[in-house]
Structure 1
Amino acid sequence: MELLHTQIGSYRFVFLLIIFSAIIAEVVWNWRTERKAYHIKETLANLAIFFGHQFFGKVVFAGAKLFTLDLAYKITPFKIENTFWTFLLCFFLVDFVYYFFHWASHKTKLLWAFHHTHHSSTLYNLSGAYRLNWFGGLVNLFFFIPLILIGFSPTFVVGSIALNLFYQFFLHTEAIGKLGFWEKIFNTPSAHRVHHATNEEYIDKNFGGVLIIWDKLFDTYQEEKTKPMYGVTTGFVGYNPLKIIFKGFEELLKGEKSKS
């Protein structure tokens, strides 16, 4: 478990450097093209939520999450050897589990209470990619434990999840149009713009992480045809990070459920 924590931490700085460099590049693109994809208060809220998510995920919940993964690996009688090919298989299976987890996050009120945070922005840009609920780590981990119980190491599973989310970061932009053949197999900014839209024909579509083939297999794929309108169906939430984090739980307590 100690080794896993060290390995994850060693790549975090590189990931953060790439993430913030890409955001700065997109801000420059936004300014030069006058696309109005950024709003200063919205961006500050996104950054506050990002740093809060880092604190809760990497500090508050990190020990419990790594302990749970390590325990699952210790009790399973199966152990899959760590090789390049088994990592590719693990990455592929993580992406499939992510599709199911993402689908469930839209279809169930409890999981939507967590996921609401990510969809509540009315703008679509890279600063909102990690606009993730601070307490999501309490539930999402359990969807991936079965992969450890069948023998994949925690290092491979956690590494695959991290790479999956890192790829998805680059999907949250309007700066990239359609990508031709790539659209047939992989998730793209165009496909993910559909996922974040409140247009009636776009709601509950395109749940894939890295691969879009799951959506095509399970009939949840929708091509981007008309301009997406972003946010949730109940409207603008605000710029207060705490309100953004807890709005989904407020809906849950009231028995309501917005969509996106």
Structure 2
Amino acid sequence: MEELGKFTLYVTAFVIAVSMVEAVWLTRKNRNAATPFAWHEVWLSLADVVARKLLALLPLSLATPVFALAWEHRIFTVELNSALMVLALFIGQEFCYYWYHRASHRIRFFWATHAVHHSPNQLTLSTAYRLGVTGKLSGSAIFFAPLVWLGVRPEVVLLTLFINLMYQFWLHATWIPKLGWLEYVFNTPSSHRVHHASNVEYLDANYGGVLIIFDRLFGTYVEERADEPCRYGLVTPSTSRNPFVVEFEHWATLIRDVVMAKTVRAAINHVIRPPGWMPEGGGETTEELRRKSEAARRECKVANS
């Protein structure tokens, strides 16, 4: 685990260096643009990654006891001694990642952490390492524990997940075009731009890590369209430049809604329902936003007829 820690540190340093090169290039490219490059978004991402590295020094992770329990009760002991076993691990990890990522958007408890990753109002490579400092405390390890229970060593699962996240680094770019036939199999910058978009048509789509096949299989794939440019950030944009606000505002509103709930059932639903859910309806879940958008479209069509 110590070697894994050193490896992740070196890779993180490389990733930050590349993102800074992109930031300088985009600053010069957009010098005369209507919307100049926002350096404060980069600083917020850097604050996030530094805070997470410091917190990693503390024994606060829920992954350790969850993985230990899964390993203790494993049904096999998997040896990665063939290409077929490595491929099986890769597909299994992608499957677990898809459902982890989907739950992070559809369950408000997990969204409270994941929203930090979607808070930048511009999409750049620095967005890739703004992941939220509460990730280790939110219990997302449960989505990968099945791999340990099946017999894959915990450190191997964590390394595989890290490699998956490193692949996704280059996906956070607006200047890489569509990549032809690769779009049908792999997660690409085009697919991931849709994932980060706050357009109603693009919400809750393209959850894959390296692959896009599970999105196509489970009906969550949405293609980037030239006639619908991506608007990045949250549905209700985050405008604060205070890292503490960016990191904890969604936890604060979640706690507020739970405390102010009129019934225990409503309090629980605030935790497990999608972001934007309200007990009396009329909230801002993806489904409700799409219904409102469709209603507005129909009214506009009637008015113009």
Q: Normalising by the residue count of structure 1, what TM-score does the alignment of the two structures yield?
A: 0.90
Report the equivalent of 2:86: 87
Amino-acid identity (%) = 35
Structure 1 counterpart of 2:125: 126
Q: Which runs of 5+ in 1 are unaligned?
A: none
In structure 1, the residue matched to 2:160 is: 160
Hey, what's the Cα distance between the residues in 1 that align with 2:53 and 2:41?
18
CA distance 1:65–1:109, change in 2 (3 Å): closer
In the TM superposition, residue 228 of structure 1 has moved relative to its aligned partner by 0.5
Does residue 99 of the first structure (1) align with residue 98 of the second (2)?
yes
Partner of 1:227: 229
Cα deviation, 1:67-112, whole Å, max 9, x if unaligned, reads: 5424432332421113243233112211111100111111111111
Indicate the structure whose relative CO is greater, using CA pairs within 8 Å and at least 6 residues apart.
1
Shift in alpha-carbon separation, 1:155–1:245, aligned structure 2, 3 A? same
SS of the aligned residue for 1:60 comes to coil
Q: Determine if contact 1:118/1:131 at 8 Å carries over to the other structure.
A: yes
Over alpha carbons, which structure has the higher Rg?
2
Decide whether the 8 Å contact of 2:61 with 2:136 is kept in 1.
Answer: no
Question: Please, which runs of 5 or more residues in structure 2 have no aligned partner?
Answer: 258-269, 277-284, 287-305
C-alpha change, 1:108 and 1:15, in structure 2 (3 Å) is same
Distance 1:62 1:254, change over 3 A: closer
How far did 1:63 drift? 6.7
Other-structure match for 2:290: none
For residues 16-165 of structure 1, the aligned pairs below 5 Å read: 16-34=12-30, 38-56=37-55, 58-61=56-59, 65-66=63-64, 68-85=66-83, 86-138=85-137, 139-165=139-165
> How many Å separate the matches in 1 of 2:222 and 2:209?
15
Question: Does the CA-based 8 Å contact 1:184-1:213 persist in structure 2?
Answer: yes
Q: Which amino acid in structure 1 is aligned with residue 41 of structure 2?
A: E
Partner residue in 1 for 2:170: 170
One of 4, 9, 30 as aligned partner of 1:8: 4
**Aligned counterpart for 1:239 among listed residues 231, 238, 241:** 241
* Secondary structure at 2:168 match in 1: helix
CA contact (8 A) 1:125 1:172 kept: yes
Give the C-alpha shift of residue 118 in structure 1. Answer: 0.9
Q: Say how many residue pairs are matched.
A: 255
CA RMSD of superposed structures (Å): 2.1
CA apart distance, 1:45:
1.3
- TM-superposed deviation, 1:146: 1.2
Aligned partners of 2:27 and 2:36 also within 8 Å: no
